[in-house]
Chain A
């Protein structure tokens, strides 16, 4: 018979480390349905009958954050056979606050006091048997990081689960409170099991507005609340909270002996330097430069080049041994079996090239993910949020948004994926929507092409591209935070900073792999499909009256070219109504570096250098500088490549939000390009027309959206129904 054990504890108490140590590779990682809270389930090493559920880190069973709602709904509805409550031994007082609530759920609880190695090192003493006696649950000590005591803890939890005996209620509130609680318990309907009555009674007294959704019939307890509030001269929720802390203080007094006088911990000492008001920003800049230099430029570029030009290119050499690239191998194999030309085209130019272009970024992403995992696990990421928060808060983003954007300047895909570290739903969605505005590595050739062909290589074109990207982020942040979709959840800045510690290599690598693998799966599905479709559109068409496959130079006749002709008028107000430019922008959806290659083919040059130097003259002759800049701006801001769109879809975890993000980016790109072209033409050539009027109207509308007043909502909306459904 299978046994279900839930891991519950505060954020940063070592819960995930314990989960990884207990389950090894037997994990299933996903999201709680309907919400973007991560759900992790696994089976105990060496005992497949034991299912272990890693609940999100929470401070309380109150209904104020999505994580709390998800965790408590799971505990109430699914009723795991036992709970392992992980408690940070170095911060036991605050951690016990959650424990007192978990014990009231009527589920057997095993308390695992974690970080015992650190507690012992500091000379502090915890009296385990006394703690167990005072709390009324079994207590054991572990070190999740070192792996000591964890299997014993799991065995004891399984034994508890099989015994099916809930912890006895040792904790008694003050007499007055206790009397009222008993009265409320008696009012509860028969649908609430006896052992859960205490939990529901407390929640009802606390005026918890979401608990009613878990009950068939909600008794009216307003009289009891009023009586208690009058008697204690405080609101019931504060009464209960204070009662819990008084109880915890009495336990701590008996069970916990501090070694010496209050001294600064190592973490405090590090924080004195790292979050110092003068040193914080320079230190942060140095850390970011190192991350950027290694993962985006040096090692990252090397890894990407190796993957793109070697593994997915002509081949690479390993200690002098020539290893052919995958396309070469596939081509050889296909030729050997006498494969049809069109199928070879599909496999080589479509699938291998398309998916390869995306997978080529994997090595670079893995390097980056190692850094991110390390920064997260050691505790610095939380400080980054703290340092950057005041700046980013001004335009509706959080301090943690900085990291995705920095990474996005290398590649938008890991950039969007890095937004995972942002817990706040609103901030995360906003970050996902704006990260790809930062010019990524693949957009640089477009910038080089336009700068070279139409601006004589002017120095200011490239910086202006970054400026456009940053301005788009800031303006989008301000505009979006004033919309209804992003209203609600005021999210004041309150967050716990975990103690600094050296993460284990295993945990860092695991975190890297989880992110990398989820991306690769995406490349295998949605990206595969879209590359096939685009390949088809590009390589087939009508030539000389018959439909058939085309050579690369005959792109003019392809279905895509026909589509380009349809879309071209749409781009006329932007100054580049030529179907060639429209097609170039569309092929940019596969990968932005394709834009330059496509323009090359369309202007009759089969192979162009990365910056397209061969076609500069032709391009300059075909469009004005203003139109070219408008084309550049559109490509910088519009929907990113398929790989990045896949990442956006995954991180949004909601199809509506995905389309909203893509739609917003494209509309913004169109509007800004239109303004650039029309106003640019007015200034340079004095051209005035309907387009100019539209451009000015757009500018006015934009200014209105930026400066209109708005009221921050005061309520935190948690979709309880959805969260509850997700658990069932």
Chain B
């Protein structure tokens, strides 16, 4: 399921990062890689704050929809 559907506080493993090439690369550089763990810290109006590789990253809803976790 997409990251935007995940419940707060639950660690999830990333299956796939989709989206435009540039954005995908940028996300990978930030630590969103297949097999990595991501946890949603909080969300506001669809935008998320997630914890990935010990860093807090804010991402928009449209991006969160393209990160598949399971």
Is the beta-carbon distance between A386 and B49 smaller than 8 angstroms?
yes
List residues of A whose CB falls within 8 A of some B CB.
59-60, 62, 64-65, 90-94, 97, 237-238, 241-242, 245, 267-268, 271-272, 275-277, 280, 382, 385-387, 389-390, 393, 490, 492-499, 714-716
Is the beta-carbon distance between B56 and A499 smaller than 8 angstroms?
yes
User: Which chain B residue shows the least CB distance to A244?
Assistant: B33
Q: Which residues from chain A contact B45 at a C-beta distance below 8 Å?
A: 277, 390
Shortest C-beta distance, A237 to chain B (Å), equals 7
Is the beta-carbon distance between B22 and A386 smaller than 8 angstroms?
no
Interchain residue pairs with CB less than 8 A apart (26): A60-B29, A62-B25, A91-B53, A94-B30, A94-B54, A97-B31, A268-B56, A276-B42, A276-B44, A277-B44, A280-B44, A382-B58, A385-B58, A386-B44, A389-B60, A390-B60, A492-B59, A492-B60, A493-B60, A493-B63, A494-B23, A494-B63, A495-B57, A498-B56, A715-B22, A716-B22
Is the beta-carbon distance between A242 and B33 smaller than 8 angstroms?
yes
Q: Give Cα A423–Cα B57 distance, bound, in whole angstroms.
A: 16
Shortest C-beta distance, A390 to chain B (Å), equals 5
**Which B residues from 13 to 69 make CB contacts under 8 A with A?**
19-20, 22-23, 25-31, 33-36, 41-47, 49, 51-60, 62-63
Is the beta-carbon distance between A93 and B31 smaller than 8 angstroms?
yes
Is the beta-carbon distance between B42 and A245 smaller than 8 angstroms?
no
Q: Give Cα A563–Cα B52 distance, bound, in whole angstroms.
A: 63
Shortest C-beta distance, B10 to chain A (Å), equals 12
Is the beta-carbon distance between A272 and B59 smaller than 8 angstroms?
no
Given contacts A241-B28, A272-B42, A280-B44, contact A494 B33 (CB under 8 A): no
Is the beta-carbon distance between A390 and B20 smaller than 8 angstroms?
no
Top 3 A-B pairs, shortest CB-CB distance: A493-B60, A60-B29, A94-B53
Shortest C-beta distance, B3 to chain A (Å), equals 12
Shortest C-beta distance, B54 to chain A (Å), equals 4
User: Which chain A residue shows the least CB distance to B45?
Assistant: A390
Is the beta-carbon distance between B58 and A268 smaller than 8 angstroms?
no
User: Which chain B residue shows the least CB distance to A279?
Assistant: B44
Q: Give Cα A493–Cα B62 distance, bound, in whole angstroms.
A: 9
Shortest C-beta distance, B30 to chain A (Å), equals 6
Q: Which residues from chain B contact A385 at a C-beta distance below 8 Å?
A: 58
Q: Which residues from chain A contact B42 at a C-beta distance below 8 Å?
A: 271-272, 275-277
Shortest C-beta distance, A158 to chain B (Å), equals 30
User: Which chain B residue shows the least CB distance to A59?
Assistant: B29
Shortest C-beta distance, B23 to chain A (Å), equals 5
Is the beta-carbon distance between B29 and A496 smaller than 8 angstroms?
no
Is the beta-carbon distance between B54 and A268 smaller than 8 angstroms?
no
A97, A497, A499: the one within 8 Å of B57 (CB): A497
Shortest C-beta distance, A673 to chain B (Å), equals 37
Is the beta-carbon distance between B44 and A268 smaller than 8 angstroms?
no
Given contacts A64-B25, A277-B45, A389-B47, contact A59 B33 (CB under 8 A): no
Q: Give Cα A91–Cα B62 distance, bound, in whole angstroms.
A: 26
Q: Give Cα A355–Cα B44 distance, bound, in whole angstroms.
A: 46
User: Which chain B residue shows the least CB distance to A246?
Assistant: B35
Is the beta-carbon distance between A277 and B43 smaller than 8 angstroms?
yes
User: Which chain B residue shows the least CB distance to A274?
Assistant: B42
